[in-house]
Amino acid sequence: MENVTIMDHPLIKHKISRLRDETTGTNEFRALVEEIAMLMGYEALSDLPTEEVEVKTPIETCKTPVIAGRKLAVVPILRAGLGMVSGITALVPTAKIGHIGLYRDEVTHEPHEYYCKLPDPISERLIVVTDPMLATGGSGVEAVDFIKQHGGKNIKFLCIIAAPEGVKRFHETHPDVQLYVGCLDRELNKDAYICPGLGDAGDRIFGTK
Ligand X SMILES: O=c1cc[nH]c(=O)[nH]1
User: Which of 50, 189 has the CB closer to ligand X?
Assistant: 189
Q: Which position's Cβ is nearest ligand PRP? A: 202
Q: Where does this chain bind ligand X (CB under 6 A)?
A: 80, 133, 135, 193-194, 197, 200-202
* Residue 182 is a binding residue for ligand PRP (CB under 6 A): no
Residue 104 sits at the vertex; the CA angle it makes with 102 and 171, to the nearest 5 degrees, is 80
Q: Which stretch binds ligand PRP (CB under 6 A): 45-53, 54-62, 90-98, 101-109?
A: 101-109
Binding-site residues: 79, 104, 131-139, 194, 199-201
Q: Is 104 a catalytic residue?
A: yes
Question: Which one, 9 or 109, has the nearer CB to ligand PRP?
Answer: 109
89 binds, among Mg ion, ligand X, ligand PRP, none (CB under 5 to 8 A by kind): none
Report which of 81, 78, 94 is spatially closest to residue 40, judged by C-alpha positions.
Answer: 81
Whether residue 108 lies in the annotated active site: yes
The SS3 of residue 190 is coil
| Residue 103 binding: pick among ligand PRP, ligand X, Mg ion, none (C-beta 5-8 Å cut-off by kind) | ligand PRP
131 binds ligand PRP (CB under 6 A): yes
Annotated binding site for uracil: 194, 199-201
Q: Which stretch binds Mg ion (CB under 5 A): 28-36, 44-52, 118-126, 196-204?
A: 196-204
- Residue 197 interacting partner from ligand PRP, ligand X, Mg ion, none (CB closer than 5 to 8 Å by kind): ligand X
CA–CA gap between residue 101 and residue 79 (Å, rounded)? 7
Residues of this chain that bind Mg ion (CB under 5 A)? 200, 202
